[in-house]
Amino acid sequence: MSEFVRVRLAAFVAGCLVGIVASFGEANAESAENGKVLFLKVGCYQCHGTVGQGGVAGPRLAPDPMPFETLAAFVRTTSGQMPPFREKILSDADLADIYAYLQSIPKPPDPKSLPQLNP
Amino acid sequence: MARIGPRANVNRRKFLTGVAVAGAATAVPPAQDGAKAAAPPSPNAETSSVSSALRPSAKVAAAETGSPAELAGAEGKPGSDYMVDVIKSLNVDYVFSNPASSFRGLHESLINYGGNKKPEFIECMHEESSIAMAHGYFKAAGKPIVALCHGTVGLQHGCMAIYNAWCDRVPIIVLGGNSLDATTRLPMVPTYHSAVDIGALVRDFTKYDDNPVSLNHFGHSFVRAYKMAMTPPHEPVFISLDSDLQENAAREAEKLTIPKYTPTSPPQGDANAVREAAKLLANAQNPVIIADRCARTPAGVGLLVQLAETLNAPVIDQHSRMNFPNTHDLYQTGRAGPLIRQADVIIGLELSDFWGTVNQHVDNVAGTEQARIKAGTKLISISTLELSMKSNYQDMQRYQPVDISIAGDAEATLPALIDAVKSAIPADRRDAIAQRGEAMKKAHADARERTLVNATYAWDASPISTARLSAELWSLIKSEDWSLVSQDRSISGWANRLWAMEKHYHYLGASGGFGVGYGAPAAVGAALANKAEGRLSINIQNDGDLMYAPGVLWTAVHHKIPLLSVMHNNRAYHQEVMHVQRMANRRDRVLNDGPVGTLIGRPFIDYAKLAQSMGMYAIGPINDPKELGPALKRALQVVKSGEPALVDAVTQPR
């Protein structure tokens, strides 16, 4: 697949998914709860950590996740180190719930407030 | 093979004449009558109905424990006493070993004739443990020790650990018991454990091996082996110990000597090539220094600082050793990607994978590969790789063309390179170099701020984040003279990101060959070395790694080796979890049952109980991050009292 076709496809997929998420409005608790289960079940946690904090194997996803359309395009069509999760193995609705979970993750404490980080 | 000498009738006065070791010629008690000491079971034992496992037959038991009648009461000092003299002549502190019959002669000589001091026999529960302990010991102490392996089976157990040491450029003197003479060796078990060419097992990943057939031959081989192991590139070596040679008395006619050991100066890079490299570095707009196994000794750290400061060039530490202080403004490891992309000159110092440093392989279905560097970037390599390469095992990694390739030890070459760079810097480059230093200072400070913020993500999560684990530990040890004796790659490098790594023993690197099972024993070996220096040893211990040979915890307790082990218990072989996921995604298949065959659960292993069963103070499992700090504090008190301790923290995957 050429890079041009890949980008167009990604944009199309992302556009469809934006519609799904937009219908949620604010991330609702039910979606977020299901998204948390999915985040662990489908394997996102393996590289990104159970609360999306990131690590040596994958970047931080939360809090303040990237725009949904960016995330969705990447998840579906990445040709990088992360293996793609195509719709056959992760539905649009499930991906939207995962995004709701990422949105629900609270901000961390200020590092200046943690004595362990201020020796 | 030639048979060695008469078994008895040795002139005791002449024994060891010429041996150049003071205090070595003490009397040895007559050999014990093994036939009497052994108590073979009754001939009917195998028919007993009470045992759940078969008892050995009389023949097997005698073969395992007895001695041939011809050896009983042999007179004269045994050859293995001379072997102890040779080992002592090189100031070897320890022998790490799982005990075994194929070196019983040397074992007895070590503890009786040698007094079990320098070297002291350290009891291990697996050959893989004893060799990995030797690996860790060297990296903390800077001197090698002896690891004793038992015949064919023990050496096979130890092979993976020897391979790790080979890949990691670490010297270990491996001695392996063997019985060459097919007409005199004991039948059954000892014969299974013998080989014609036992060194063939490890020849592909040792620098030297030999099969001595006389005592003087052993002396020459041992000193040569030590010398070769300690000449950069450091590598493990192997010497076979024939059982007759150990157990029999020396031949009367054999005048025993111990060859003099003279350390070999490390190979230094060619002066002309060094000058050419210096010119490139001095005139570069964006030079980058990358170090992997550059700092062999404490002096190496200081030399690398000098080179970097001369150029105000950023340093990327790949952490196979502690090459460069992470508190220095020029430490820019976290910015490796952009720095390599922007560089016009890159110098690699003892890189284990130069190709992987300047290229990227994407592990997707296309197997995409692309250069990380821009066209025209000049590459310089200083490495001992070409001096130690063998063909079969592929630790040399993929071939990377470079512009200047200097065969030599990087640390030994640095003084000449520093001088050459100082001479090569044009006057009109000095301002630009100074400005580069200011930019690096700001980048270092910014990176530090980002690191602290990143450490707060998942701060209160359970399982405990690896950043939190590292921060909790650091807050307790920062005022101590500490040494991290484990790698931190599997905890996302948090120790190197949060702790002030400034001394060579602050970080010892990883296994080299990525053979799992290295971590726990290497940590115990390094802790033994640190004990002599009064350092506090910290081990962040992977759960899967510990279970390869957990008996090393017993060794730590038994020999009172102070070491704090904190479990990175992610309850999985997590690298493999990710690999299987990658395959499933590539094939558009769902892992409906989750990871299978890669988790360590059902049941979860209680590592605290495991450690406690071997007499170790242990706490856990700890799931709540708020409980971790107090638990670490309690365990540290135990370690400071001179004992090992373990805290089982249930952690995030990475």
Q: Which residue has the tokens 């089976």?
A: B153
Amino acid at B283: N
Tokens describing residue B570 = 């992610």
Write down the H helix ranges in B90-212: 104-108, 127-141, 151-167, 189-192
Please state the length of chain A: 119
B14–A contact, CB cutoff 8 A:
no
CB burial of B378-410 (b: ≥16 within 10 Å; e: otherwise) equals: bbbbbbbbeebeeeeeebeeeebebebbbbbbb
User: Of B26-30, B405-409, B587-591, which range is least confident?
Assistant: B26-30
Q: Give the residue from A40, A53, A89, A101 with the most B CB atoms within 10 Å of its CB, the best one to mutate.
A: A53
**Whether B588 and A89 lie within 8 Å, measured CB to CB:** yes
CB contacts of A86 in chain B (<8 Å) are 585, 588
**Whether B452 and A41 lie within 8 Å, measured CB to CB:** no
Is the domain spanning A3-106 CATH 1.10.760? The answer is yes
* Per-domain residue ranges of chain A: 3-106
What is the DSSP-derived secondary structure letter of residue B113? I
Q: Which residues contact B430 (CB under 8 A, 6 or more apart)?
A: none
Tokens describing residue B84 = 């102890």
Q: B126 vs chain A: nearest CA distance in angstroms?
A: 32
- What is the structure's pLDDT at A15? 52
What is the DSSP-derived secondary structure letter of residue B103? G
- Highest mean pLDDT (candidates B34-43, B66-75, B170-179): B170-179
Amino acid at B60: V
When pLDDT is cut at 50, 70 and 90, the band that residue B66 belongs to is: low
User: Of A64-78, B187-201, B243-257, which range is least confident?
Assistant: B243-257
User: Pairing relation of β-strands B536-542 and B482-484?
Assistant: parallel
- What is the structure's pLDDT at B64? 61
d(CA A46, CA B45): 54
Count residue pairs from A and B with Cβ separation < 8 A. Answer: 111
Q: Which of A40, A104, A51 lies closest to B458 in space, CA to CA?
A: A51
Percentage of chain B lying above the pLDDT 70 cut: 89
Q: Give the residue from A38, A39, A86, A117 with the most B CB atoms within 10 Å of its CB, the best one to mutate.
A: A117
Q: Convert the pLDDT of each residue in B448-461 to its tens digit.
A: 999 999 999 999 99
User: Pairing relation of β-strands B359-361 and B369-371?
Assistant: antiparallel
Inter-residue contact B555 to B565 (CB < 8 Å): no
Taking CA atoms, what residue in B is nearest to A86? Answer: B588
Could you say which of A54, A81, A110 has the minimum Cβ distance to residue B457? A54
- Categorise residue B367: left if φ over 0, alpha if ψ from -120 to 50, beta otherwise: left
Average pLDDT score over residue span B384-393: 93
CB contacts of A114 in chain B (<8 Å) are 456, 459, 471
d(CA B654, CA B646): 20
Q: Which residue has better confidence, B290 or B23?
A: B290
What is the DSSP-derived secondary structure letter of residue B194? -
Inter-residue contact B104 to B259 (CB < 8 Å): no
Question: In sequence order, what are the beta bridge partners of B315?
Answer: B289, B331
**Whether A49 and B465 lie within 8 Å, measured CB to CB:** yes
- What is the structure's pLDDT at B17? 38
Phi, psi (rounded to 5 degrees) for B506: -70, -25
CB burial of A8-47 (b: ≥16 within 10 Å; e: otherwise) equals: eebeebbeebeebbeebeebeeebbebbbebbeebbbbbb
Residue A5: how many CB atoms within 10 A of its CB?
A: 10
Percentage of chain B lying above the pLDDT 90 cut: 86
Question: In sequence order, what are the beta bridge partners of B381?
Answer: B348, B405
Q: Which of B286, B268, B233, B263 lies closest to B418 in space, CA to CA?
A: B268
Q: B619 vs chain A: nearest CA distance in angstroms?
A: 21
d(CA B484, CA B323): 14
Chain B, window 442-471: residues with a beta carbon less than 8 angstroms from a chain A beta carbon: 452-461, 463, 465-468, 471
Chain A, window 15-44: residues with a beta carbon less than 8 angstroms from a chain B beta carbon: 41-43
* pLDDT over 90 at B557, yes or no: yes
- What is the structure's pLDDT at A4? 45
Tokens describing residue A116 = 């362990």
**Whether A83 and B452 lie within 8 Å, measured CB to CB:** no
Average pLDDT score over residue span A58-75: 97
Q: A64 vs chain B: nearest CA distance in angstroms?
A: 11
Could you say which of A83, A86, A115 has the minimum Cβ distance to residue B475? A115
CB contacts of B456 in chain A (<8 Å) are 108-111, 114, 117
Mean pLDDT, rounded, of chain A: 85
Q: Convert the pLDDT of each residue in B182-218 to its tens digit.
A: 999 989 999 999 999 999 999 999 999 999 999 999 9
When pLDDT is cut at 50, 70 and 90, the band that residue B19 belongs to is: very low
What is the DSSP-derived secondary structure letter of residue A66? P
Q: Convert the pLDDT of each residue in B620-645 to its tens digit.
A: 999 999 999 999 999 999 999 999 99
Inter-residue contact B179 to B242 (CB < 8 Å): yes
- What is the structure's pLDDT at A38? 97
**Whether B362 and A50 lie within 8 Å, measured CB to CB:** no
A74–B contact, CB cutoff 8 A:
no
**Whether A108 and B366 lie within 8 Å, measured CB to CB:** no
Domains of chain B: 67-247 (3.40.50.970), 271-441 (3.40.50.1220), 457-650 (3.40.50.970)
When pLDDT is cut at 50, 70 and 90, the band that residue B40 belongs to is: very low
B568–A contact, CB cutoff 8 A:
no
* pLDDT over 90 at B596, yes or no: yes
When pLDDT is cut at 50, 70 and 90, the band that residue B33 belongs to is: very low
Q: Which residue has the tokens 């036939």?
A: B35
Q: Convert the pLDDT of each residue in B467-509 to its tens digit.
A: 999 999 999 999 999 999 999 999 999 999 999 999 999 999 9
- What is the structure's pLDDT at B54? 59
pTM of the predicted model over 0.80: yes
Q: A86 vs chain B: nearest CA distance in angstroms?
A: 7
**Whether B457 and A50 lie within 8 Å, measured CB to CB:** no
* pLDDT over 90 at B615, yes or no: yes
Q: A103 vs chain B: nearest CA distance in angstroms?
A: 14
- What is the structure's pLDDT at B455? 98
**Whether A57 and B585 lie within 8 Å, measured CB to CB:** no
A91–B contact, CB cutoff 8 A:
no
